[in-house]
């Protein structure tokens, strides 16, 4: 969670984006992220991201739902308050299936969505720095992090030659903060040093 400096390259076609990603990795540039208006298949692999394990989490949540429903209903009907309903068995497994199934689905779905929001820092009133407003419209935006070793001009000319339609420098906060999009308040305001 800190303010960093980036050189941002904006592409308007996947055809130029993929080679650009590949070549910047080859050149050793540190790709901060690529912001795209829609899911571009294969981009995660091109960037060398690992597979998400969100679905594994979903499976675990599902199992939690299954066991909760089964154990709770069994406990109620056999231990807590066994009822004789027309002489039917106290543990009618087939009759438990609908609720077990529903709770499995419910826990998995709710758990996965919450995990997704947590991992991706998504919530109402969460604000983040955006590199380009058209990243949610028609541009593929690739910020490259500037370190002390980076040669700014070299990165810029690299991005331009890779087919970027726009190249610019930007300082951006990499974390998130509580804020609203109709006001410009930042997490940390730069303090002006007033000298007497």
Partner 1 sequence: MSLLKYESQVREPLVDGSKTYHDVTEDICKPVEAAPSRLWWIGFIISVALLLFGVVSLYEEVVYGTGMWNLNKTIGWGWDITNFVWWVGIGHAGTLISAILLLFRQGWRTGVNRAAEAMTIFAVICAGQFPIWHMGRVWMAFFVMPYPNTRGPLWVNFNSPLLWDVFAISTYFTVSLLFWYSGLIPDMATLRDRAKKKWAKLFYGVASFGWTGSTKHWQRHESLSLVLAGLSTPLVLSVHTIVSFDFATSVIPGWHTTIFPPYFVAGAIFSGFAMVQTLMLVTRKVMHLEDYITISHIENMNKVIVLTGSIVGCAYLTELFMAWYSAVKYEQDIFFKYRIAGPYGWSYWLMMTCNVITPQLFWSKKLRRNIAFTFLMSVVVNIGMWFERFVIIVSSLYRDYLPSSWSVYYRPTIWEVGFYLGSFGLFFTCYFLFSKYFPVIAIAEIKHILKKSGESFKEAMDPLEEQTVEEFAHDHVHAH
Instruction: Give the whole-angstrom CA distance, residue 180 versus residue 71.
Output: 44
Contacting range for partner 1; rule: CB under 8 A; set: 2-10, 78-86, 158-166, 186-194: 78-86
Distances (CA, A) of 129 to 38, 94, 152, 162, 189: 19, 53, 21, 25, 14
Contacting range for partner 1; rule: CB under 8 A; set: 91-99, 149-157, 160-168, 188-196: 91-99
Indicate which single residue of 47, 60, 165, 167 sits in contact with partner 1 (rule: CB under 8 A).
Answer: 47
Strand 176-178, strand 166-173: pairing? unpaired
CB of 53 to partner 1, least distance (A): 9
Work out whether 63 is an interface residue with partner 1 (CB under 8 A).
Answer: no
Indicate which single residue of 23, 66, 67, 116 sits in contact with partner 1 (rule: CB under 8 A).
Answer: 116
Work out whether 34 is an interface residue with partner 1 (CB under 8 A).
Answer: yes
State the DSSP code for 136. G
């Amino acid at each position: 969670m800190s303010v960093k400096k980036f050189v941002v390259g904006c592409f308007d076609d996947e055809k130029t984006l993929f080679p650009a990603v590949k070549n910047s990795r080859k050149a050793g540039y540190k790709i901060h992220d690529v912001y795209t208006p829609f899911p571009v298949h294969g981009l995660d692999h091109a960037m060398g991201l690992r597979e998400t394990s969100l679905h594994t989490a979903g499976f675990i949540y599902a199992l939690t739902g299954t066991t909760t429903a089964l154990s709770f209903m069994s406990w109620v009907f056999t231990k807590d308050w066994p009822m004789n309903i027309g002489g039917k068995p106290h543990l009618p497994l087939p009759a438990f299936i609908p609720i077990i199934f529903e709770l499995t689905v419910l826990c998995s779905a709710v758990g996965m969505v919450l995990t997704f929001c947590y991992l991706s820092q998504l919530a109402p009133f969460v604000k983040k720095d955006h590199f380009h407003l058209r990243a949610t419209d028609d541009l593929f935006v690739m910020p490259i992090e500037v370190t002390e070793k980076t040669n700014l001009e070299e990165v810029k000319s690299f991005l331009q030659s890779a087919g970027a339609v726009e190249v610019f420098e930007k300082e951006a906060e990499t974390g998130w903060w509580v804020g609203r999009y109709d006001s410009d308040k930042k997490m940390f305001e730069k303090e002006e040093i007033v000298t007497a």
